[in-house]
Amino acid sequence: MSGQIWSVDADGGYQYSDQLSDDLRQDLIPMTKFRQFTELGDGHEQGLNRGDTFRWNVYSKIARSGRRLEENQRMPESQYTVQQHSLTVYEGGNSVPYSGKLEALSQHETKAIIDKTLRLDARNYFDAEAYLQFDQTKLRAVAASGTSTTAIALAENGTTGVTNNVAMGNGHVKAITDEMRERNIPAHIDDDYCCLSRPKTLRPLKDDLEGINQYTDVGIQKIFNGEIGRYDGCRFIAQTGIAEGGAIDSTTFDAYDGTGDAWNNALSSWAFYFGGDTVKEAVVQPEEIRAKMPGDYGRDKGMAWYYLGGFGIVHDDALNSRIVKWDSAA
């Protein structure tokens, strides 16, 4: 059988050794960041026996706004349009088989190790799924001419032909958040937008903000997982679950397994600025740990995590998009 076995040290034999430490240690795994900014809402009501597609309606503003009327003028008439968007529900999961001999002879509790390892793996899956929907946004921001520290160029077709050749700084933050306000993108919480990015991408901005009181005595508390500061009505959250890079021309970047592909100049990396109503999650079967029915007379065992649900960007058009991605062509 594949998986965890006793006869190969690296696959399980090392779980028993003379004077083996009792402490359980594992590789470093990042905490979920993207998923906390998705919205269950009505998506949580997908439920069993309702098919694999979840839909929602998006209503436009009224076509012709109201205005002043003369006394003998008829009341004007207008209309709105309805667009329907959807997401597809998928199965997600992973498993670790192990032998009965490994469980019987191990000094460490095999089930506890596998349980924790599977939970961490599931965490990576959910962040990757949410990230891929954030990445569907049509709005892409780059430094104007690739080098400006105060102005941005905003593309509305989900791509950009400009290579960013400057680190993201406070000038870009002001330009992006001003653009979001001009587009009437609603705030994520209270009056604040949020920005999610890698620690190294946020470092120049943090250096810019040293000495500035980001949180006043009566200011907003840090309530988001990984939040590091607030500036110009935007809260900044660092994450390490999704690898750096992945510019428009990248063919090797992989959100699931953490394969990064740094931007050509390595001065910056992706950052997502967003308001409210960003990505929807529809849950049919919440994530859970499952045990395999033992086979081969109890010698063949296993554990898995399983989830049935899906993620979908709420507004996939530029006009109504709630997400702006700091991006680069290469």
pLDDT on residue 154: 98
211 touches 169 (CB < 8 A): no
Kindly tell me the burial class for residue 105, based on how many C-beta atoms sit within 10 Å of its own C-beta (0-12, 13-18, 19 or more): middle
Mind listing the pLDDT tens digit for each residue in 278-297? Answer: 999 998 888 888 888 899 99
pLDDT on residue 20: 40
Task: List the beta bridge partners of residue 301.
Answer: 98
Q: How far is CA 62 from CA 68, 78, 320, in A?
A: 16, 7, 14
Mind listing the pLDDT tens digit for each residue in 154-201? Answer: 999 999 999 999 999 999 999 999 999 999 999 998 889 999 999 999
Q: How many CA atoms lie within 13 A of 293 on its CB side?
A: 0
Q: Residue 31 and residue 40: Cα distance in Å, rounded? A: 19
- Residue ranges in the chain assigned as alpha helix (H): 100-105, 110-134, 170-182, 199-208
Question: Does the global pTM surpass 0.75?
Answer: yes
Helix axes 170-182, 199-208, angle to 10 degrees: 100
Q: Residue 77 and residue 65: Cα distance in Å, rounded? A: 10
Positions of the chain with pLDDT lower than 50, given as ranges: 13-17, 19-29, 214-220
pLDDT on residue 10: 59
Residue with tokens 């592909």: 261
Task: Tell me the two tokens of residue 25.
Answer: 């240690």
Q: Residue 64 and residue 97: Cα distance in Å, rounded? A: 62
pLDDT on residue 4: 58
pLDDT on residue 216: 47
* 105: CB partners within 8 A, 6+ apart: 6, 15, 16
Question: Do β-strands 193-197 and 234-238 pair in parallel, antiparallel, or remain unpaired?
Answer: parallel
What DSSP element (H or E) covers 83?
Answer: strand 82-88
According to the 3-state scheme, what is the secondary structure of 284-310? EEEEEEEECCCECCCCEEEEEEEEEEE
Contacts for 247-250: CB closer than 8 Å, 24+ residues apart: 247/163, 247/327, 247/328, 247/329, 247/330, 248/159, 248/160, 248/327, 248/328, 248/329, 248/330, 249/329, 249/330
- Give the 3-state secondary structure of residue 182: helix
Q: Residue 49 and residue 122: Cα distance in Å, rounded? A: 24
Residue with tokens 């999610």: 196
Question: Do β-strands 323-326 and 139-143 pair in parallel, antiparallel, or remain unpaired?
Answer: parallel
Q: What number of other Cβ atoms are within 10 A of residue 19's Cβ?
A: 5
